[in-house]
Structure 1
C-alpha cells in the first residue's frame, strides 16, 4: 500500500516491489529436510522395536494420555506471569559499506568543479525521510496482518496436528524515501541514518503430550524473529543495512508438553547506518534513497503443535486489538564525518 504523500515514480515503485518480493521469500534452513527425513526414519525404527518388546504399548499410551490430558489442556495457550521486560537497547557494531562515487553514474548534466569549502544552500526539508509504502504477507490463513494503521500488526493462532513438517512465515515492512528534491547538495559524501524499530507483543509456542515410550510421535514447534533495516538506491544499489535474529520457540519432543512465551517488548536501535554516496550525481540521475524496516516470523510445526501471535501478556484469542505490533521511526539522513 503506497502513501499518497510520497508521489512515487514508476521506478521507485518497481524498486519497492522488488524489495517486498525478496523479503517474503522462503528461508528454510539449509539441510533441514535431510535432517527431518533421518529423524523420521529413526523414530519409526524405535517405535517398531518398542511394539515388539511391549505388546500393549498403544493401549498403555492411550490410557496414560486420557488420565493426564485434562490437566495439561488447561495450560495450553497460557502466558507465563513474568515481570515487565525493560526496553532493550542493542547497540550493535556499525556496518559501513562505502560505494565508489562513480557507482552512481552520470546520466546527463554538467558537473562543474566547486571549491571544497563552498557552502551550498540546501533545499527545504533536506534529509527528511517520508513514508512511502507499507506491505505484509502471510503463508498461513490462520495468521493475519494489518497494514491499514500505524503501528502495523500481526496476529493469529495456528493449531496443527499433522504428521508432516510444515514451514511458514509472516511479516510486515515499512518503506521511507528521500527523493532528489530533498537530497543534500555538495560535499561531503558520507551520510548516516539512525532509525528505531519498536516491537510489542507475545509469541507463544506449544507442543502436545509427549512420552518417550507411550507417545513418542514427533511434536515440534520452532519460531524465529528477524528484524531488518536497509538503505538502498531506487536503482537497486545497496548502501547499508543490519539485521537482528532471535530464536523464540525451540520445542522438540518436550516431556510431558512443551511451552514457550516470549514477550517481545523492546526497541531495536541498529544505527547509525553509515554510507558513502555522491548525492549530487544521484540527484541528477533522478534516483531516490530508500530506507526499509521489516519484521518477520518464520516457523516450523509438526505433530500436535500450536503457535500464537498476540499482544503483551494476553491469554485471549488473537485479534486486531490483541496483536503484536511493529513501528519504525526513520530519523533523518544527515551528514556524517
Structure 2
C-alpha cells in the first residue's frame, strides 16, 4: 500500500491508503524520502493561495527528493534505483516559451506538482521522467529536498549575473535567502551583506559565507551601495527597499512571493537610477541543472537549514510550525 496526504479543501486533510501507483508511458514512480513544507503549502492548507494556482482536492508537496522505484514504457530502465529530484512545473516543452528554454513561463497553462498535480506528501509520487534531475549516488536525500527552492535561487543568480569583486546584498535570511548566500558566495564577491531583522538568521548567514549581517533599520546607511541586490523575503516593503540598496545602474532580482498591498517601486527612482529589475517565479530547467550541479559539487549544502522532521501522520503539527513565527523554526520536512 501507499499512503498520501490529501487536502480536500482549506483546513481539511486526511491520510489515505491506496495501491502503489503504476507508471504510465513516459512516467516514473518515485519513493519519496523527504518533502519540505514551505509557505506556499501553508497557503494551500489555509486557503490563501490564488485559486488559479491550486486545485482541490490535492496532495501537496513540491519540494522533495526520493529514489526511482519503477519506470513506465519508453523510460530508460537504468533510472530505477537512482536518487533524484524533479522539476515541479509540468511544462509542455512545445510552446514558444518552452522552445526558448523558459520552461517556467510555459504558455500551455499552469500545472505544477503539489498544487494542481499530486505531490510528494506521500509515500510515492508519479511524474513524467523528463522532469527528473538524477543525483549522485551518495547524495544526502533530506538535504536534497531543498533543491526546489535552491533552483529558484539559481534562477535569480542567473538573472542577476554576479561578477567577481562586486558588492552584493541579499534581503531576507529565510530558506531562500540563506541558499542565495551560499550560491552568491561562490561568485567571489568583494562584499556579501545580508539584511534581516532576526539576529540569529544573520549569524547563520555569516556561517554560510556572508561578510556582513545588518538589520533593516541599518539599511539606510547602505543605500546605493550594491551592484546586485537579491530580494528573497516577499515582505510588503522589500521590493521597494531593495531598489534603494542598489547603486545607480545596479541590478535587482525579486524572488519573494508578494501579496496584494505590497509597496510599489518608485518609478522616479527607477528611471533616474537606471536600475535593471528582474523577477523570478519558479525555476526553468536550466536553473534546476545549476542547483543540482552546485549541490553535487558541495557548493550548496542545504542540510543546516533543516530544523524539524515529522512523519506523514503528524502533518498537522508540521504545518503549524511553518509561518508560526518561531525564529528557531527553519525548514520543516515530512519523512514518509
Interval of TM-score (by shorter of Structure 1 and Structure 2): under 0.3
Higher helix share goes to which structure? 2
Greater RCO, CA 8 A, separation 6+: 1
Higher Cα radius of gyration: 1
If the length of structure 2 is used for normalisation, what is the TM-score?
A: 0.19
